[in-house]
Structure 1
Amino acid sequence: MAIGAFIEGFNYVIRLVICIDATYLKVRTRGVLLVAVCKDGNEIIYSLAFGFANSECTESWTWFLKKIRKLIQYLNRVMLVSDRHNGIFNAMEAIFPDAAHGICAYHLA
C-alpha cells in the first residue's frame, strides 16, 4: 500500500534514499510486514509504502520492489539501504540494477 500524497512528496521533495526492511508479525495470521521509508528535510521518517507477505524471501521482496519501482520517477538517482538480507539483495539486484545499494550501519555493526 502506498498513499498518493506520499508518492508525490517522495518524487518531488524527499531525498531519494529508500530504506527497506521487514518485521515478523506474531499475530494469528503470521507473515512479515515489508516497509519502505525515507527521511524528509527535517530528519523525520517518511513512509513510502508497506506490504504484507508470507515470508521474507526473494519472491516477496521482488514483488514489493516491483511495486515501489512503479512509484519512482527518477530511477537513476535512487539509493536503497537495507540489512542485506539475501532476499532483499537478490530482489534489489534484479529490480534496481542501476541504483546505488547501501547497507544499514546498525546492521553492519
Structure 2
Amino acid sequence: MSLGAFIAGFNEVIRPVIAIDATHLKAKTKGVLLVAACKDGNEMIYPLAFGFANFECTESWTWFLSQLRNVIVDPKRVMIILDRHTGIIGGMTEIFPDATHGFCAYHLV
C-alpha cells in the first residue's frame, strides 16, 4: 500500500535512496510488515510503501518489490539500502537488477 501523494513526492522531489526492511508482527495474525522508506530534505522519514506478508521470504519480497517498481518512474537512478536477508537479496536481483544496491551499515556491524 502506498498513497498517491507519497509516490508523486518520491518521483518528483525526494532523493532516490530507498531503505527496505521488514518487521515481524506479534499480533494474533502474525506475519511480517514489509516497509520501503526514504528521507526527505529535512532528514525526516518519508514513508514510501508498506505491505503485509505471511513470511519474510524471496517470494514475498519479490511481490513487494515488483509492486514498488511499478510506481517508480526511473528505477535505474534508484539506490536501495537493505539488510543481508536472503529473501530481499533474491527479490532485488530479479526485480531491480539495474538499480544500485547497498547494505545497511547497522546490519553489517
Query: Which letter maps to 1:92?
Result: M
Q: 5+ unaligned residues in a row in structure 2: which ranges?
A: none
TM-score using structure 2 length: 0.99
Alpha-carbon deviations, 1:41-92, whole Å to 9, x = none? 1100000000000000000000000000001001110011010200000000
User: What is the percentage of aligned positions where both structures have the same residue?
Assistant: 68
In structure 2, the partner of 1:86 is 86
Query: Which letter maps to 1:37?
Result: A
Q: How does 1:93-104 map to 2 (within 5 A)?
A: 93-104=93-104
TM-score using structure 1 length: 0.99
Matched positions, count: 109
Pairwise CA RMSD: 0.4
Q: Supply the distance in 2 between the matched residues of 1:72 and 1:84 (Cα, whole angstroms).
A: 23
Q: How does 1:1-109 map to 2 (within 5 A)?
A: 1-109=1-109
Q: What SS is found at the alignment partner of 1:35?
A: strand
> Runs (4+) of structure 1 moved beyond 3 Å?
none
